[in-house]
Structures are given as C-alpha cells and as structure tokens.
Amino acid sequence: DERILAAAQKHAIVPLEQGQLYKYGTAGFRMKADLLDGVTFRVGLLASLRSRKLNSQTIGVMITASHNPAVDNGVKIVDPMGEMLEQDWEHLATNLVNAPTPEDLVQYYNQLATDLKIDLSAPAKVIYGRDTRPSGHTLVAALAAALEATETEQVDYKILTTPQLHYLVRATNTEGTPTSYGEVSEVGYYKKMADAFVRALKGRRINGPLIVDCANGVGGPKLAEFLKHVPQDKVNFEVKIVNDDVLRPEVLNLESGADFVKTKQRAPPKPAPQPGVRSCSLDGDADRLIYYWIDPDTGFFMLDGDRISSLAASFIGDLVESAGLKDELRIGVVQTAYANGASTNYIRSHLKLPVMCTPTGVKHLHHVAQSFDIGVYFEANGHGTVLFSPDALRAFKTTEPQSPAQQDALTTLAALSDLINQTVGDAISDMLLVEVILAHKNWSLRDWAMTYNDLPNRLVRVVVGNKDLFQTTDAERRLSHPEGAQEQIDAAVKKYKDARAFARASGTENACRVYAEAATNSEAIELAKQVAQIIE
Ligand code: 16G
Ligand code: ZN
C-alpha cells in the first residue's frame, strides 16, 4: 500500500472542471496528453488487478489517440484474447481514475480487490505499446510506475500499431497451447501475416502498384517492416508508402489518413494524388483503412468500411459455397447505423446474408460478430475485421475435399483465417485481405465500385448544450430522449425518397452527430440540416 501511495503521489490526477469526470469511453480514456499522466498510472493499477482476477493471464495496455490531433493521447486496456476490456470493468476504470486523492485511490484499489475476490499476491503480467506521439514516452513511465508498485511483471514493446499490441496479448496468452496465435514478438506478427498472404494469393498477380498513405503515424514504419517479410520471388506486391514522417509530431494525421479521407471525402492533398492509381489510407494507429482512387474521368471515388465489408462477405461467401460448407457455417455481417443503406441492401438482397446493426464502437460489433461462424464486421469509417469460430477453423482443416476446386476453397479459407487479425480491426491485415480478393477476382477499384451505388449522405457535427440529454434505442437509430425529438426527425425523413436519418451523442467528443441519406445529394444535405436544427 505504501508503495502504491508513494507512486500515486508522483502521478497525481488533474482535477477537471466542476462536475466533470474522466470516463472510460469507446476508445478508453482519450484527451489532451497533459491530463493523462495520473490517468495512465491508474489504468496500470486496474490492468494489474484484471490480470490477477483472470488467473494471471497477460493484459495489454495501448497508449494512442488514433486519428486525433498530435497533442491528444489516450490509454485503453486489452483483454487476454486480444479483445477490448470487458464492458463491466469500464466503470471500474472510470471510478478508479476519478478517485480524488492518492489516499482515496489506494482505498478504492483495495476495496476492488476485496469485492472482486482478487488475490493481490498472485502473479500479474501486463504488456504495453504506444503510437508515435511524443507524449507516449512519459505516459509509459507512469504506467510502468503503477506496474512496479503492484509487483506486476511487465514488457514494454515500445512503438506498435494498436492491432499489433492486440496480437501480442493473444499470442502471449495462447503460447504453447493448441490454439497458439503465433510467435510472441513483433517479427512473429509479420511472419504470420506474410506467410498467410502468400498462401491466400496462390500465385495470383496483384494488379498494379498500391499507394499507402500512413497519416504520418506508426503504420508507416510498421508497414515498411512487414514488406521485408514478403518474399519478392513469390508475390509481385509493389507498394509506395507515403506520409510516413514520424519524426515531426505536428504532421501526425494532418490532412492525411483514413479519418481525413472518410470525413472530407477527398484524397490527401500531399503528395499530389496520382490519377488512376489504387490508393488507400491508414489512420494514426493503423486500425482503420479506406481505399480510393482518382478516376481520370469522374474524379475521386472512395471505398470505405461498408465496401470492404461487402467485398469480404461476397468473397468469403463464395469460398464457403465452393468448400461445400454452406449448410454448416453461418455467415453474417455486422454494421452500425452509419452503414450506407445501399450496402445493407446489397448484402441482404444480392449476397443473401443476414445483416445485424449494433451501436457505434468496435466492441459492440465484435461481440455480435462472434455469434456467427464467420462474422464480418466493419464500421463505415474503415475499422473492422472478420471473425472465424472454432467450428469454422476446424471445418477448413478437416473437411475431406471431393474435388480440386473444393480443396482450393478450403485452403484459401484457412489462409484467410491466418491473414485476418482475429483480435481487432487491423488496417495492414485488412489491406492485404483486400489485395488478395482483388487479385483473385482480377478486379480494379473501378470494378469493385460497380457492385452497387451508395446513397448520397451527409454527416454533420452539432454542438449542443448537454449531449447527455440525447439517448438512443434500436442500435442508435432512434432517439428515446429528449421526448418528442424522434417524432420530429420521423416527420422530416418522411418528406424525402429513400431517406433515413438519425442523431446520437458522440462517445469521443462533446457534441452530437447527425447522419442523413437520401436519393439525391441535395436532399441528403437538406435532411441533415433539418435534423441538426431539431436537436440544436
Ligand atoms: C471510437 C471507436 C470507433 C468509433 C468512434 C465513434 C473503437 C476502437 N473506436 O473511435 O470505432 O467509430 O469512436 O466516435 O471502438 P464518436 O462516438 O465520437 O462518433
Ligand atoms: Zn485508430
């Protein structure tokens, strides 16, 4: 107790304005980096408790603020199988971080141990990584101090992408077991993916070069490292990495990256876009991916998370059919309310697959995707992955093929299950998946774009007095509060053809968001404006 108290005094919490609390939200704790020292220390305490609670399994802590500005940072906990922190513990994190004094903190820490029947003398292990933000360095020191004070074994993996840390947590906890996830090292991550990439491509040629914008974040150096593991004699993968300056912190996510491309609906201005060349953008911690190209005739065209989702579902659905597993394995797609209505319709009517809708935030999608044998989930912003159940993995390995075509489908499915990060959305892994599918189908981005036409849409940010007044139901598609607001939105939507709109409080910013789609662009804009006025 004295060691924790002494360390806590060195990593004090900065009091927020009257009435405001730190909150473990969809992205953990995320804010201006200078508020985070004490927060990160306390997250370290909780991570050690969680490891002790879960039979000394390894817990992860990632320090990143993803696509947010360079001055922000964040801290979040990764559970043993590489998943997000269990929801029940989010409010424990919130309580622990908001304990006002170091003495209150130690008292609450001990009370948690008692209430949750945690043996504080049991071994504990926490591993961690951070993105390229300069503030990450001091935050890691605060985390390490908490782990030392609680006699927790720790491994500092230094700079990583978020999905790499998730990989390492799962690999650590499965090491030496039949479900081993891979070698417990950063190199192990590259080797596993490069091997699966070659196996999934099956000698098919990749159609021309790919430009990858890395948002001047951690994805740049890590993608370069990955490419060294791809055998040049087996794969013609020509990648041009751009926006990979991680030495000047101020350029992180600046006019670049997946979030910029998705929200601005245009290519990063620098370097000057090359018309016709297949391009994609990662975000600042390399867990989101958006594809696009500049068409010489029609201009910018974007392929977002909904497109990646429908591409993956279509390809995997066909493989499962060729593998003769259609009646055995249930494939489903999980989206949020932000998914373009045309994508939902395409997946249901054309691919004939079930689509589920969940609230925003990866943990919700991930959870529902686990209810399928093959669960494809993506947020429109480009964050997502494909999950394979133990039954699916077994079927790929043990089904006796009756034809070369069936065998081919089975081995491709097995390769995909290794290529696709099973812990969390991973931009590098997702990018390789897209490249594999395009190579198999011999498609350009234009071919991919032709599968369906997006409904015109608008996303606006609305500053409101108190965003907490806005409460939703039906996977955030309807407002339950304030009373009467939903009826007004319904009335506005009714005036337009093929229209849909919703409003929700942001989980990461002090504002509300309004999404509207309609048959034409001008109608989508009008509708978004009207809904914004309703909630203002
Ligand atoms: C977080 C979520 C992201 C979601 C976004 C919504 C994770 C890892 N990240 O960044 O998935 O799309 O929040 O932000 O879950 P909003 O609530 O401000 O709209
Ligand atoms: Zn991210």
Report yes or no: 387 and 422 within 8 Å, Cβ to Cβ. Answer: yes
ipTM: 0.96
Distance between first and last Cα of the chain: 49
Question: What is the Cα–Cα distance from 134 to 122, expressed in whole angstroms?
Answer: 34
pLDDT in tens, 187-237: 999 999 999 999 999 999 999 999 999 999 999 999 999 999 999 999 999
Domains detected in the chain? 2-159 (3.40.120.10), 189-303 (3.40.120.10), 305-449 (3.40.120.10), 457-535 (3.30.310.50)
CA distances from 257 to 186, 220, 283 (A): 23, 11, 5
**How far is Cα 437 from Cα 309, in angstroms, rounded to an integer?**
12
Q: Coil, strand, or helix at residue 14?
A: coil
**Residues pairing with 278 in the sheet:** 210
For residue 142, pLDDT over 90 is answered with yes
Nearest ligand, measured from the Cα of 290: 2
Q: Rounded to whole angstroms, how far apart are CA atoms 123 and 322?
A: 48
Q: Which residue has the tokens 């892994």?
A: 429
CA-513 nearest atom, ligand 1: 19
Asked if residue 379 has its Cβ within 6 Å of ligand 1, the reply is yes
- Residues 231-256 have pLDDT tens digits of 999 999 999 999 999 999 999 999 99
Q: Ligand 1 mean position to 363 CA, how many Å?
A: 10
- Pocket of ligand 1 contains residue 67 by CB under 6 Å: no
**Closest ligand 1 atom number to CA of residue 383:** 11
The CB of 507 under 6 Å from ligand 1? The reply is yes
- Report the alpha-carbon distance of residue 435 to residue 493 in Å, rounded: 38
Backbone φ and ψ for 51, nearest 5 degrees, come out as -60, -45
What is the reported pLDDT for 400?
Answer: 97
C-beta of 28 in contact with ligand 1 (< 6 A): no
Please report the pLDDT score of residue 18 as a whole number. 83
DSSP H stretches of helix in 442-520: 445-449, 485-494
Contact yes or no for 353/347 (Cβ under 8 A): yes
| Ligand 1 atom with minimal separation from the 509 CA | 18
Q: How far is the CA of 366 from the centre of ligand 1 (A)?
A: 13
pLDDT in tens, 131-140: 999 999 999 9
Taking a 5 Å cut-off on Cβ, the residues next to ion ligand 2 are 66, 283, 285, 287
The bound ligand whose nearest atom lies closest to the alpha carbon of 289 is 2
Residues 310, 316: Cα–Cα separation, whole Å: 10
Is the distance from the beta carbon of residue 506 to the nearest atom of ligand 1 less than 6 Å? yes
* pLDDT given at position 508: 82
Ligand with the closest atom to the CA of 367: 1
Q: Which residue's alpha carbon is nearest to atom 10 within ligand 1? A: 27
Count of Cβ atoms closer than 10 Å to residue 241 Cβ: 17
Q: Of the candidates 59, 114, 65, which has an alpha carbon nearest to the alpha carbon of residue 81?
A: 59
Digit-coded pLDDT (tens) for 282-339: 999 999 999 999 999 999 999 999 999 999 999 999 999 999 999 999 999 999 999 9
The set of catalytic residues is 66
Which ligand is nearest the CA of 258, by number? Answer: 2
Q: Is 460 in the pocket of ligand 1 (CB under 6 A)?
A: no
Residue 372 is encoded by which pair of tokens? 């399928």
Q: Six-digit token pair at 26?
A: 């969809």
> What is the whole-number distance in angstroms between the Cα of residue 243 and the centre of ligand 2?
16
- Helix (H) or strand (E) holding 392, with range, is helix 390-398
Number of DSSP helices (H) and strands (E) in the chain, helices first: 18, 19
Mutate to test the pocket of ligand 1, among 63, 77, 165, 360 (most ligand atoms within 8 A of CB): 360
Residue reference for tokens 């969390």:
424
Q: How far is the CA of 208 from the centre of ligand 1 (A)?
A: 33
Q: Ligand 1 mean position to 381 CA, how many Å?
A: 9
Where does the pLDDT of residue 507 fall: very low under 50, low under 70, confident under 90, or very high at 90 and above? confident
Judge if the beta carbon of residue 97 lies within 6 A of ligand 1.
no
Q: Tell me the CA distances in angstroms from 468 to 74, 429, 454, 511, one per residue in order.
A: 22, 36, 32, 9
CA of 286 to the centre of ligand 2 (A): 6
Instruction: Give me the sign of the Cα torsion angle 306, 162, 67, 91.
Output: positive
Q: Which amino acid is at 217?
A: G
Task: Look at the alpha carbons of 447, 459, 161, 134 in this order and tell me if their dihedral is positive or negative.
Answer: positive
Q: Which of 78, 84, 8, 80 is nearest to 40 (CA)?
A: 8
Scanning 99-157, the segments in alpha helix (DSSP H) are: 102-115, 136-149
- Joined together, the tokens standing for residue 98 give 């908001």
Protein residue with its CA nearest to atom 3 in ligand 1: 361
Closest C-alpha among 396, 403, 534 to residue 470: 534
- Closest-CA residue, ligand 1 atom 4, reads 361
Q: Cβ(316)–Cβ(331) under 8 Å?
A: yes
Where do we find the tokens 């919130």?
A: 94
pLDDT above 90: residue 510: no
**Confidence at residue 509, expressed as pLDDT on a 0 to 100 scale:** 83
The radius of gyration of the chain from alpha carbons, rounded to an integer in Å, stands at 23
* Average of per-residue pLDDT across 80-94: 97
Query: Are 312 and 437 contacting, i.e. CB atoms less than 8 angstroms apart?
Result: yes
Name the percent of the chain in helix, strand, coil, to the closest 5. 40, 20, 40
d(CA 444, CA 208): 9
Query: In this structure, what DSSP letter does residue 493 have?
Result: H
Computed from CA positions of residues 316, 321, 324, 330, in that sequence, does the dihedral angle turn out positive or negative? positive
Cα dihedral 197→201→205→207 (10° resolution): -70
Integer Cα distance of 284 and 263 in angstroms: 15
User: Do 379 and 368 meet the contact criterion of CB atoms below 8 Å apart?
Assistant: no
10-19, 66-75, 480-489: least confident range: 10-19
Q: Probe ligand 1: pick from 90, 508, 514, max atoms within 8 Å of CB?
A: 508
Give the amino acid at 272: A
User: What residue has token string 């991680």?
Assistant: 246
Q: Whose CA is nearest to atom 12 of ligand 1?
A: 361
What is the distance between the alpha carbons of residues 199 and 196, in angstroms, rounded to a whole number? 5
**Ligand 1 neighbourhood includes 381 CB (under 6 angstroms):** yes
Q: What percent of the chain has pLDDT over 90?
A: 97
- Per the rule left: phi > 0, alpha: psi between -120 and 50, beta: everything else, 182 is left
Among all bound ligands, the one having the nearest atom to the CA of 282 is 2
Beta carbon of 59 within 6 Å of any ligand 1 atom: no
**Percentage, residues of the chain above pLDDT 70:** 100
As a whole number of angstroms, the distance between CA 378 and CA 384 comes to: 4
Calpha distance 352→313 (Å, rounded): 10
Residue with tokens 């978004």: 528
Distance (angstroms) between ligand 2 centre and the Cα of 288 equals: 6
Q: So what's the pLDDT on residue 19?
A: 83
CA-closest residue to ligand 1 atom 2? 361
Average pLDDT of the chain, as a whole number = 97
Q: Can you give the pLDDT at residue 234?
A: 95
370-418: pLDDT as tens digits: 999 999 999 999 999 999 999 999 999 999 999 999 999 999 999 999 9
Judging by DSSP bridges, how do beta strands 58-63 and 72-78 pair with one another?
A: antiparallel
426 C-alpha to center of ligand 2: Å? 9
